[in-house]
A = this chain, B = another copy of it.
């Protein structure tokens, strides 16, 4: 089944069931109010949600509405833990080489993982408000697993059973700040802004044969300002999601609703399939041409991230969002709305109503 969260002015929104073809949606309120609550009692509510999903897909649900009319938040608008790995070795190996970084110990046997901020996660069509282009704004397209409660000491094999949902994400990174964060050893902090998530999260069975070995065996399509940037396959993860969860839970419990990210998707043949973030392309240019030609993002730029199934059907819906300058006077949540009103710059590029998060407080 496929799940989404509709904004209603509360921090956690309202849980909806979405049809497999992403056209129709119905509130799950009578079963459970929010996705966080669903993940806290998954075994009990999942069969009820599945029944509603089946009825929706068969066209038997009264009260279903067109998905495109809804204002979607991230499936989890906030998460108690957001743990993001860097699980694609071709990405890490290239960046170490180019930036002269010391390879982390046991880098191909122990996952790299940082703790991100989970308190304010952006929806798929929300603008990304940031303070300055000079910070080196970059997207990072990746896959994310949602777990129910994982006790400390859970093994990789056990961990796969805790993966309840999957989606795609854009882990916005500020490259001019990343090197400094890395050098402290204390991890990415200023260099990681709020992360954005796909419109819809799906149970692993929705991926069929494409979900196996704790990995998603499909390419992730990334477009920057309407031009294809990359389509690396997510199957190249150097660690399975089960292994990432085992690593995360070594000395702590993970609360229900913890998010585990794959890190930016990358394939060894990145020269053919492209990349899922700008810094990787810049590194390839540096190796091949002696200098980086591609600049980082400018305000007004858009990124689109989507995964298609074997029939070309979108699985999670698309992340499609603009990067905008934060307005510190107004508080960033309203900044882009003001820009839209004053300049009309964003409304033109906005493809559907789900992006109109500015109606929210």
Within 8 A of B (CB), among A72-123: 78, 80-81, 83, 86, 101-102, 104-106, 110, 112-120
Q: Are B131 and A255 in contact (CB under 8 A)?
A: no
CB contacts under 8 Å to B, within A116-167, are 116-120, 129-131, 135, 151-153
Partner of A187, one of B129, B187, B253: B187
* A 167-226 contacts with B by CB, 8 A: 174, 177, 180-194
User: Is A251's CB under 8 angstroms from B131's CB?
Assistant: yes
Q: How large is the interface on A (under 10, 10 to 19, 20 to 34, 35 or more residues)?
A: 35 or more
Alpha-carbon gap, A174 to B251, bound state (A)? 9
**Complex contacts, A353 vs chain B, CB 8 Å:** none
Q: Which of B102, B113, B177, B187 contacts A114 (CB 8 A)?
A: B187
B183 touches A251 (CB 8 A): no
A275 lies within 8 A of chain B by Cβ: no
CA distance A332 to B112 in the complex (A): 25
The interface residues of chain B lying within 8 Å CB-to-CB of A102 are 183
Is A17 located at the chain interface by the 8 A CB criterion?
no
Known: A105-B180, A252-B193. A187 touches B332 (CB 8 A): no
> Once bound together, how far apart are the Cα atoms of A120 and B81, in whole Å?
10
How many copies of this kind of chain does the complex include? 2
Select which of B110, B131, B177, B187 is within 8 A of A180 by beta carbon: B110
Interface residues of A (CB under 8 A from B): 78, 80-81, 83, 86, 101-102, 104-106, 110, 112-120, 129-131, 135, 151-153, 174, 177, 180-194, 247-248, 250-255, 258, 326, 328, 331-332
Q: A106-B180, A253-B331 are in contact. List 8 more A-B contacts (CB 8 A).
A: A86-B186, A110-B180, A119-B253, A181-B185, A182-B185, A185-B185, A189-B248, A193-B252
Q: Please provide the 6 A-B residue pairs with the shortest distance between their CB atoms, ordered closest to farther.
A: A187-B187, A80-B119, A119-B255, A182-B185, A153-B328, A114-B186
27 cross-chain CB contacts under 8 A: A78-B80, A78-B255, A80-B80, A80-B118, A104-B183, A104-B185, A112-B184, A114-B115, A114-B186, A117-B252, A119-B254, A119-B258, A130-B251, A131-B152, A131-B153, A131-B250, A151-B328, A151-B331, A152-B326, A153-B328, A185-B185, A185-B187, A186-B188, A187-B188, A187-B189, A191-B251, A192-B251
